[in-house]
Amino acid sequence: MAKDGAAVKGMDSKGEVAESKIQALIQLLGDDDVKIRKVARQQLQLIGKDAVRFLEDVATSDSDGRIRIEARGLLHKISRDDLLQTFHLLAIWNDQQIDLEQGAYLLAKFAYPSLEKREISDELDRLADRARGLLVGLKTPRRRIQLLNNVIFTEGRFEGNRDNYYAPDNSFINKVLQNKKGIPISLSIIYILVAQRLGLPIYGVNMPAHFLCKFEGDDEHFYIDAFDFGRVMNESECIMLLKNYGVDFNFHYLKKASNRDILSRMLRNLILVYYQNEDDDKADFLKKLLKILKHYSKKAEY
């Protein structure tokens, strides 16, 4: 009767029922019967994001210890399920149409589930806004890159994290923006995303051992090492850099990287780091994301 009455009054009784159902299922997470707890867990996981705010309340409260632990575990699973679904939507596009900023955000959200995309976008906007006014009147590509380098590396104080190169945070764009330290590919992603906001033709180069950026103008092209404060390089210097890493040169190494290539390399880096840290659970999950990128790599060519 209550349900019918609410509907007659125009109230969203469906929302009320859903909320009461979620609350009841959460209470069943503390039941003594293992089977009942399992069913409640499964139902809440199926409900997914709609259950998150209720689970968060329980996970941070002084409620029954068993419910609190179960709630935290479910939040972890729901977050990962949601990330998998969102990554499918990202990867379905063709290689270059994949949104690099969204991809970098999703990888960061894997480690920092409460992260909002605007936290990343706002900081990238700030860097671009700082450079935009200073670029006015600068005609040559090298002068423009010199100015961008000054904004990012001199004023912004971004640098390569040589002391703690293999820390996972070096691959998460939010932490690189916060700590101002990263590895070649994460610093290059920031460089590329700021350059995009300024209309500068800068792309990634998936060179072995050391990721680079490339300025590709109508009359001039050159390479940029974001790990070395934006050092401008020619092809000969790229060859020498590879030799220093013990890698034989191939011109294929200097071709433009697609956004799918860039995100795949980021994932491979993180997978390796987590396996080295014996954190197999995280590495195995990231392998699922990598598999999604590979799955759509051919199908997305339309």
Tokens of 209: 């051992």
Are 46 and 109 in a shared domain? no
Backbone angles phi, psi at 289, to 5 degrees: -65, -40
Q: Domain count of the chain?
A: 2
Contact call for residues 141 and 208 (beta carbons, < 8 A): no
Task: Find, among 195, 226, 190, 229, the residue nearest to 211 by Cα.
Answer: 226
Are 33 and 129 in a shared domain? no
Distance separating alpha carbons of residues 68 and 61, to the nearest angstrom: 7
For residue 152, give the DSSP letter. I
Are 168 and 104 in a shared domain? yes
- Summarised one tens digit per residue, pLDDT across range 93-145 is 998 799 999 999 999 999 998 899 999 999 999 999 999 989 988 889 999 99
Contact call for residues 169 and 175 (beta carbons, < 8 A): yes
Are 63 and 150 in a shared domain? no
Are 184 and 256 in a shared domain? yes
- Summarised one tens digit per residue, pLDDT across range 1-25 is 344 443 333 334 444 437 888 888 8
For position 146, what pLDDT does the model report? 96
Distance separating alpha carbons of residues 208 and 184, to the nearest angstrom: 11
CATH number at residue 42: 1.25.10.10
Distance separating alpha carbons of residues 268 and 290, to the nearest angstrom: 8
For position 206, what pLDDT does the model report? 96
Q: Residue type at 29? A: L
Domain boundary among 70, 91, 112: 91
Torsion of CA 24, 30, 35, 39, to 10 degrees: 40
Contact call for residues 256 and 54 (beta carbons, < 8 A): no
Are 109 and 223 in a shared domain? yes
Distance separating alpha carbons of residues 51 and 68, to the nearest angstrom: 14
Are 104 and 214 in a shared domain? yes
For position 57, what pLDDT does the model report? 86
Q: Where do we find the tokens 């300025």?
A: 215
Which helix H or strand E contains 203, and what residues bound it?
A: strand 202-205
For position 62, what pLDDT does the model report? 60
Are 135 and 279 in a shared domain? yes
Contact call for residues 36 and 27 (beta carbons, < 8 A): no
Domain boundary among 71, 91, 111: 91
Are 272 and 234 in a shared domain? yes
Distance separating alpha carbons of residues 156 and 66, to the nearest angstrom: 46
Distance separating alpha carbons of residues 300 and 92, to the nearest angstrom: 6
Task: Find, among 260, 131, 263, the residue nearest to 200 by Cα.
Answer: 131
The parent domain of residue 113 ranges over: 100-299
Contact call for residues 44 and 76 (beta carbons, < 8 A): no
For position 299, what pLDDT does the model report? 56
Are 72 and 150 in a shared domain? no
For position 1, what pLDDT does the model report? 37
Burial category of 177 from C-beta neighbours within 10 Å (exposed 0-12, middle 13-18, buried 19 and up): buried
For position 63, what pLDDT does the model report? 64
Are 195 and 105 in a shared domain? yes
Domain boundary among 91, 119, 149: 91
DSSP 71-117: HHHHHHHHHHHHHHHHHHHHHTS-TTTS-HHHHHHHHHHHH-TT--H
Which helix H or strand E contains 150, and what residues bound it?
A: none
Name the stretches of the chain with pLDDT < 50. 1-17, 301-302
For position 137, what pLDDT does the model report? 86
Are 238 and 177 in a shared domain? yes
Q: Residue type at 214? A: K
